[in-house]
Amino acid sequence: MNEKLKRISFLDGLRGVAILMVILFHAYARWPDLVPYGNRYGEIVLFKYGWLGVYLFFMISGFVILMTLEKTTNFFQFIYHRWIRLFPAMFIVSILVFTTAHLLFPERPAGVPVIRDLLPGLTFIDDQILSKIFHSPQGMLEGAFWSLYVEVKFYIIFGLIFFAFGENVAIAGIIGLFLCFILTGHLGRLSAQYMGWFASGAIYYIYFKYGKKKWLWMALSMSLISALFLHRGILATLVAVIMSLFFLFVMISQHLQSIISSRFLLFLGFISYPLYLIHENMMISLIIKFGRWMPWMPGFILPIVPIVIVISIGWILAKYAEPRFRGLLRGILEKKTVKL
């Protein structure tokens, strides 16, 4: 096997780091008014800024999507491949969350959902856009779904430019969108404020492919600029800069790639997508329940069992439910395509 193909497993390790950051943020810092331990651990840097794991996901996505685009022949094939990758887990999680929320998890921060809350996740359309379409507030099942809507906008914009004008123009295009947002504050509906992170990941892929240092420094510069324009405070910017440097060191250090490719992080990376979709409200609801049932338990330990539970569910979804449903969908859709 090609040495570069072996090394690419570190991307799953990075996904593992990203999902761990997000889970710890939601467990210890996101909901101080709801969890039994309040804000006791919310100021710990690792927890307080764990939301930056989403931006790490964006960088990984930029890398992977450019690699995927090179392997597809047209825009529609690309979008179909992304849809068949994202929809099965989203569908299963949406049904699972909706059917269990009423009876098992009424303590959910997002509240008990109504049937219309299924719409944003199943269509991958921003809830704010749907609110405008229906002229009424649109809810969604899980707050974490917001990043999926950003991802889909990136797929469409980047994919269209890539197939129309090529790789370099596509990267320049999303950098242009990002810089436009920085300079004017406009294009937020296109999620332009996040495009710098995607661009950084895409440029890292070019470095990975060709090994030329100029791409490495360009990718780092893009992520650093993105970090500097977070507008979330000095410490958040500093943590984002550290995260950007971490991504750089992973790209250039085989030793660090080996560490990142540990079994635990690869496991988390493997289940990261369904786990990301399902974890927040279910985990917080379980933490609240456990706090009621076991008030004597130290607050720092209280989230551990809920985290293990949502990880276990994420594993079942990633290992069994998601691939089987994807295979069923593929069989139906591709059989119809052949007939047509």
Residue listed under structure tokens 């593992």: 16
User: Using CA atoms, how far apart are residues 76 and 84, in angstroms rounded to an integer?
Assistant: 12
Instruction: Answer yes or no: is 41 within a domain.
Output: yes
pLDDT in tens, 290-329: 999 999 999 999 999 999 999 999 999 999 999 999 999 9
pLDDT in tens, 15-48: 999 999 999 999 999 999 999 999 999 999 999 9
Instruction: Answer yes or no: is 226 within a domain.
Output: yes
User: Using CA atoms, how far apart are residues 104 and 274, in angstroms rounded to an integer?
Assistant: 19
Q: Which domain holds residue 18?
A: 3-334
User: Using CA atoms, how far apart are residues 281 and 286, in angstroms rounded to an integer?
Assistant: 9
Instruction: Answer yes or no: is 252 within a domain.
Output: yes
Instruction: Answer yes or no: is 185 within a domain.
Output: yes
What pLDDT is attached to residue 8?
83
The CA-atom distances, in angstroms, between 119 and each of 94, 98, 102, 216 are 10, 12, 18, 40
Specify the DSSP class assigned to residue 123.
Answer: H
Q: Which residue ranges of the chain lie beneath pLDDT 70? A: 1-7, 336-340
Instruction: Answer yes or no: is 339 within a domain.
Output: no
Instruction: Answer yes or no: is 340 within a domain.
Output: no
What are 256-263's contacts with CB under 8 Å, separation 24+?
257/7, 257/10, 257/13, 260/10, 260/13, 260/14, 260/16, 260/17, 261/9, 261/10, 261/12, 261/13, 262/13
User: Using CA atoms, how far apart are residues 314 and 99, in angstroms rounded to an integer?
Assistant: 17
Instruction: Answer yes or no: is 139 within a domain.
Output: yes
The whole-model pTM stands at: 0.96
What pLDDT is attached to residue 338?
53
User: Using CA atoms, how far apart are residues 236 and 43, in angstroms rounded to an integer?
Assistant: 12
CB atoms within 10 A of CB 197: 29
User: Using CA atoms, how far apart are residues 212 and 206, in angstroms rounded to an integer?
Assistant: 8
Instruction: Answer yes or no: is 311 within a domain.
Output: yes
Number of domains in the chain: 1
What pLDDT is attached to residue 20?
98
Q: Are 216 and 248 in contact (CB under 8 A)?
A: yes
Q: Are 138 and 105 in contact (CB under 8 A)?
A: no
User: Using CA atoms, how far apart are residues 142 and 200, in angstroms rounded to an integer?
Assistant: 27
Residue 252's φ and ψ, nearest 5 degrees, are -105, -10
User: Using CA atoms, how far apart are residues 184 and 129, in angstroms rounded to an integer?
Assistant: 21
What pLDDT is attached to residue 162?
98
What pLDDT is attached to residue 335?
76
Region of 34 on the Ramachandran plot (φ > 0 left; ψ -120 to 50 alpha; else beta): alpha
What pLDDT is attached to residue 134?
92
What pLDDT is attached to residue 3?
44
